[in-house]
Amino acid sequence: MDATTRRVDAAINTLRAGRPVLVADDPGRENEGDLVLAAEHMTTEHMAFFLRHGSGIVCTPMPREHAERLDLPLMVEDNTDNHQTAFTVSVDHRDAGTGISAADRALTVRALADPDISPADFRRPGHMFPLVSRDGGLAERHGHTEASVELTRLAGCGPVAAITELVDDAGLPLSGHRITEFAHRYDLPLITVGDLLTYLARTTSDTPRPPAVRRTGEARLPTAHGDFSMIAYRSDSTGAEHLALVSPGLDALADASAPPLTRIHSECLTGDVLGSLRCDCGGQLEAALSRITDERAGVLLYLRGHEGRGIGLGGKVAAYALQEAGLDTIDANTALGFPVDGRDFSPAAEILTDLGIPAIRLLSNNPAKATAMAAHGIEVTEVLALPPRVTPENIDYLATKRDRLGHTIATRLAAPLRPTLARGLG
């Protein structure tokens, strides 16, 4: 049994025994940790712990059909939340007094999980915040809502969970190593959404879906870095065309003793073609091709439709304008109504599957890519950093990726020389 399976099994067994666990999401998403408990096991003591170490907002994720049975409509019709978190109207149990105490909230949480409860048993609004999980679960959305509902199902509990985001004494969200320290301090199992996705990919045997991409052509591509076998693919759902550059060829990959070195590269016209100094994309592309040819067995996947982390070329230019006014790459996206990262990495997994590659050594600074591959059944045996090319124009952008998106960037980032241009999108 590998480490991921052991971690998830420990979390499942802990939930089944009526104790909370910790779930951390992707650094590229909220980059936060949530306490998770099966709602049916909520006690006053557990709720007090949630309130002491959480944000004060305790939510109860549940499947859509459960929310509909309890007549819990969505809080708003037009959801403009960055992550589309599906809040319903808030509730208190009718016997919950003022609804604010730990005992009152625990009663409401348990009632929400009671299979015999009815809509008339709740007052609206209240102090508990139900959330509706996507019908497709984690396959559709990589949120704490879907992860907690999936965990309670795996634990054999009812369909409702209770969650709260961890914060420190100053009210700031815990992330990274601070979540790990909290888990050790209170002896709580800690898993990531990526762990759960990997676990589900290994243990679920659904009917195979037709491939989302299809191979459309193949030819030799000589480059300054060496010769590649170039294989073209097309996503039927989006029309986007992607490339797989295989060095030196598929036969060599089949004979390799280790998983191939693999770079999943998002298209960036400004960086890859125009030589923009706002981002590190062009340098990363060149460095990846060199590393792969040096390895003599590797793959570079060039994914189209990823311009500006999925917001398109026009959106990228608009975001640049906001960055020149002082916003960073994340806040510029959200100010324009775009997600922090709107890229779909499933075509990469589909292409790797078509190439007969079940496991890879990933060449990336972005942990979200490893999570995405695990979600689609591709094993990532190793993640290798790709040091960026630092310029005065991209230094703030790189710092934002490191500090707010959790990218692995060990390069020392000195103060930018031209701060008004140092907020690239890439």
End-to-end CA distance of the chain: 39
> Is the CB of residue 59 less than 8 Å from the CB of residue 23?
no
Catalytic: which of 7, 110, 343, 423? Answer: 343
| Residue 69: predicted pLDDT | 93
* Tens digits of residue pLDDT in 306-315: 999 999 999 9
Do residues 336 and 235 share a domain? yes
Number of H helices, E strands in the chain: 15, 14
**Does residue 341 belong to any structural domain of this protein?**
yes
**Does residue 269 belong to any structural domain of this protein?**
yes
Do residues 130 and 241 share a domain? no
DSSP conformation class of 380: E
Is position 153 annotated as part of the catalytic site? no
Do residues 101 and 55 share a domain? yes
Q: Is 130 helix (H, G, I), strand (E, B) or coil?
A: strand
| Residue 421: predicted pLDDT | 39
Do residues 240 and 307 share a domain? yes
241-247 and 298-303 strand pairing: antiparallel
Question: Rounded CA gap, 336 and 339, in Å?
Answer: 9
Binding residues for Mg(2+): 30, 144
**Does residue 313 belong to any structural domain of this protein?**
yes
Is position 343 annotated as part of the catalytic site? yes
* Candidate ranges 21-30, 34-43, 174-183, 237-246; pick with highest mean pLDDT: 34-43
- Of 203, 236, 252, the one marking the end of a domain is 203
**Does residue 160 belong to any structural domain of this protein?**
yes
Q: Where does the pLDDT of residue 204 fall: very low under 50, low under 70, confident under 90, or very high at 90 and above?
A: low
Amino acid 123 reads R
Region label for 135, one of left (φ > 0), alpha (ψ between -120 and 50) or beta (otherwise): alpha
**Does residue 56 belong to any structural domain of this protein?**
yes
Do residues 189 and 247 share a domain? no
**Does residue 208 belong to any structural domain of this protein?**
no
**Does residue 426 belong to any structural domain of this protein?**
no
Domain limits for position 387: 213-421
Binding residues for Zn(2+): 268, 279, 281
* Tens digits of residue pLDDT in 214-227: 999 999 999 999 99
Binding residues: 29-30, 34, 141-145, 263-268, 279, 281, 284, 307-309, 329, 364, 369
* Tens digits of residue pLDDT in 322-378: 999 999 998 898 888 887 888 888 899 999 999 999 999 999 998 888 888 887 789
Beta strands in 152-212 (DSSP E): 161-165, 190-192
Catalytic: which of 341, 396, 402, 423? Answer: 341
| Per-residue pLDDT at 1 exceeds 90 | no
How many structural domains comprise the chain?
2
- Of 168, 185, 203, the one marking the end of a domain is 203
| Residue 360: predicted pLDDT | 95
Choice between 68 and 211, residue whose per-residue pLDDT is larger = 68
Do residues 224 and 161 share a domain? no
Q: Where does the pLDDT of residue 276 fall: very low under 50, low under 70, confident under 90, or very high at 90 and above?
A: very high
| Residue 420: predicted pLDDT | 39
Question: Rounded CA gap, 120 and 131, in Å?
Answer: 19
Do residues 245 and 376 share a domain? yes
| Per-residue pLDDT at 417 exceeds 50 | no
Do residues 199 and 317 share a domain? no
| Per-residue pLDDT at 196 exceeds 80 | yes
Question: Kindly report the CA angle at 83 between 78 and 85, in degrees rounded to 5?
Answer: 65
Return the half-sphere exposure (C-beta side, CA atoms, 13 A cut-off) of residue 385: 10
Do residues 196 and 218 share a domain? no
Assign residue 344 the CATH number of its domain. 3.40.50.10990
Do residues 153 and 228 share a domain? no
Phi, psi of 167 (to 5 degrees): -135, 160
Do residues 138 and 262 share a domain? no
- Of 152, 183, 203, the one marking the end of a domain is 203
| Residue 338: predicted pLDDT | 82
Do residues 317 and 197 share a domain? no
* pTM flag (> 0.75): no
Assign residue 41 the CATH number of its domain. 3.90.870.10
**Does residue 318 belong to any structural domain of this protein?**
yes
